[in-house]
Structure 1
Amino acid sequence: MIDKSAARQAAFARRKAAHALGQGNAGHLSAVLAGYRGVPLSGYMAMRTEIDPIAAMEEASAHGPVGVPVIMGKGQPLQFRLWEPGCAMIKGEFGAMIPEAGDWMVPEIIIVPLVAFDRYGGRLGYGGGFYDRTLKKLRAARPTLAIGFAYSAQEDQGLPMEPTDQPLDLIVTEHEVITPQS
């Protein structure tokens, strides 16, 4: 297995510095999602220094179902619970906020949090493999668009990738929308 710890540590430092500037916004993410009105999507509830997609999620919820990921257990793919602005939230696994109650849904678009990304669609996450397992499962059933959402400072030229890593279809930062290179 490839050791990703050094890349992850450096990326966390870059993300923390970018977050401290307070310039992360979801404007470009909202613009991308506007082209998919009504398509079921999942966002995430930002933790620590993650860039926050909530404004784009709120806008998208006016047009179709929006969910958030729920960790079901170690080694398991994520499940998605319907979310709407103002719904009651509780702490889930690893401290992520999740809807207290509600129906389950299956997204066709997933806004993916990350630690680092490259321009080839590579993504470095927290190391649990939750999004990789989930994307593999969803993509086996139907096309599923994975949109990485990050600060531009999280870009990395040399990510250590493994065959089990699921690629991102788009990367959205506070400055641009990146279509991965082949």
Structure 2
Amino acid sequence: MDKSTARTAAFARRKAAHDPDIAAAGYLSEVLAGYRGVPLAGYMPMRTEIDPTPAMQEAAAYGPVGVPIIIGAGQPLMFRSWEPDCALIGGEFGAMIPEAGAWITPQIVIVPLVAFDRKGGRLGYGGGFYDRTLEKLRAAQPTLAIGFAYAAQEDKNLPLETTDQPLDLIVTEQGVITP
């Protein structure tokens, strides 16, 4: 199966699983509680992505939290400081980003995804932003990549490439998976 076909199937599973009214970030909050004060990056959910912001709000009480900013095609992401209720503006691809704030270097990155496998494989949107970013961060310091997704986004047969950066943990609304 090629990546395009895998993405189409995964988007359909994610859409079917998406429910903005459920509190899906409980297990993510539990994982992050073990890293209080460690700089982390989350993301502002788009479309049918699972929402990490409740866990990000809790983490912000203990240390710096950032969200990704797309600097340009083919470039790693940068992370701007985010706080609950900070002013947001529209960024690339419709993602909301902080209007202002300092740049941070996270040691933990909560990664959105289209599909995952239990070995730490991740299928993203195809731009390579998180792969480039994780590669750069990991070259400079230990960086924990936490995939956050609905359990229904699991796929046992992901079409992965050597440039795909692995996830260290996957957190779903149903629990924590350690590859």
Q: Given the alignment of the two structures, is residue 43 of structure 1 paired with residue 15 of structure 2, yes or no?
A: no
**TM-superposition CA deviations, 1:11-43 (whole Å, max 9, x none):** 000000000484351000000000000000000
Partner of 2:55: 56
For residues 74-131 of structure 1, give each alpha carbon's deviation from its aligned partner in whole angstroms, at most 9, with x where no partner exists.
0000000000001000000111000000100000000000000000000000000000
Give the structure 2 partner of residue 73 of structure 1: 72
Specify whether residues 22 and 6 from structure 1 end up closer, same or farther in structure 2 by C-alpha distance, changes over 3 A only: farther
How large is the Cα RMSD of the aligned pairs?
1.1
TM-score normalised according to structure 2 size: 0.98
Correspondences of 1:135-154 after superposition (within 5 Å): 135-154=134-153
Q: Percent identity?
A: 77
1: CA distance, partners of 2:12 / 2:20:
13
Partner of 1:10: 9
Count of aligned pairs between the two proteins: 179
Q: Where do 5+ consecutive residues of structure 2 fail to align? A: none
| TM-superposition CA deviations, 1:48-93 (whole Å, max 9, x none) | 0000000000000000000000000000000000000010000001
Whether 1:92 and 2:108 are equivalent positions in the alignment is: no
Q: Secondary structure at 1:159's aligned position in 2?
A: coil
SS at match of 2:18: helix
Amino acid at match of 1:150: A
Aligned to 1:125: 124
- Structure 1: state its 5+ residue gaps: none
Superposed displacement of residue 159, structure 1:
0.2
TM-score (norm 1): 0.96
